[in-house]
C-alpha cells in the first residue's frame, strides 16, 4: 500500500536514505560520502510538514515501510524563455534492497503519477546518475524519457 509518509516513518526513511546513498557512493565515491543520509530527522520532520514537498511510502502487509518517494512541487512563472509549467520533481525514490523486483517501485511511481495528474501538474521530472543503470532502466520502463543531459569532465 502506498500512502503519505508520517513522522513515525522517519526512522525507517533514514535507513532507506542510507541505502540510496550507498548505491551512489559505490558508483561515484569521488562525489558521494558513505554511509550518509541527505536529510536528518529534524529536516525530515520539516519536509513532511510542508505540502509543497510531499513524501509517499510503500508499506507492506506486515507494516514495514519498504520504499519511499520524495517529491517537490516546482513552477516556473514569467520566465523569458520557459513556459509557465507546474512540475512534480521526484527528489528521491528508494526501494529497500530486500524488496526490489516485487513491484514496490512501480507502485510508488504509479501513486506519484496519479497524485501529479490529480493536482494538475504538467509533468514529472527527476535526475538519475548514470552510475546507477538499474534506476535508469526502471525509470525508462515507467515511461520516462531523458529531458536533458548533464555532462562533466573530471580534471
Fold of 2-141: Aminopeptidase (3.40.630)
pLDDT in tens, 41-70: 999 999 999 999 999 999 999 999 999 999
Name residue, grid cell 520532520: 45
pLDDT above 90 coverage of the chain, percent: 99
pTM: 0.94
Compute φ and ψ for 16, nearest 5 degrees.
-65, -35
pLDDT in tens, 97-122: 999 999 999 999 999 999 999 999 99
pLDDT in tens, 119-154: 999 999 999 999 999 999 999 999 999 999 999 999
Amino acid at each position: 500500500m502506498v500512502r503519505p509518509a508520517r513522522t513515525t516513518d522517519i526512522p525507517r526513511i533514514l535507513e532507506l536514505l542510507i541505502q540510496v546513498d550507498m548505491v551512489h557512493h559505490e558508483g561515484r565515491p569521488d562525489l558521494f560520502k558513505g554511509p550518509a543520509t541527505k536529510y536528518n530527522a529534524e529536516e525530515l520532520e520539516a519536509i513532511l510538514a510542508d505540502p509543497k514537498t510531499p513524501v509517499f511510502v510503500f508499506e507492506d502487509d506486515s507494516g514495514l515501510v519498504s520504499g519511499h518517494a520524495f517529491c517537490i512541487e516546482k513552477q516556473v512563472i514569467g520566465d523569458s524563455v520557459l513556459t509557465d509549467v507546474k512540475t512534480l520533481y521526484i527528489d528521491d525514490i528508494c526501494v529497500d534492497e530486500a524488496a526490489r523486483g516485487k513491484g514496490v517501485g512501480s507502485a510508488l511511481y504509479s501513486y506519484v503519477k496519479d497524485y501529479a495528474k490529480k493536482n494538475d501538474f504538467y509533468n514529472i521530472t527527476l535526475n538519475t546518475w548514470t552510475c546507477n543503470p538499474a534506476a535508469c532502466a526502471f525509470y525508462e520502463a515507467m515511461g520516462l524519457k531523458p529531458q536533458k543531459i548533464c555532462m562533466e569532465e573530471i580534471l
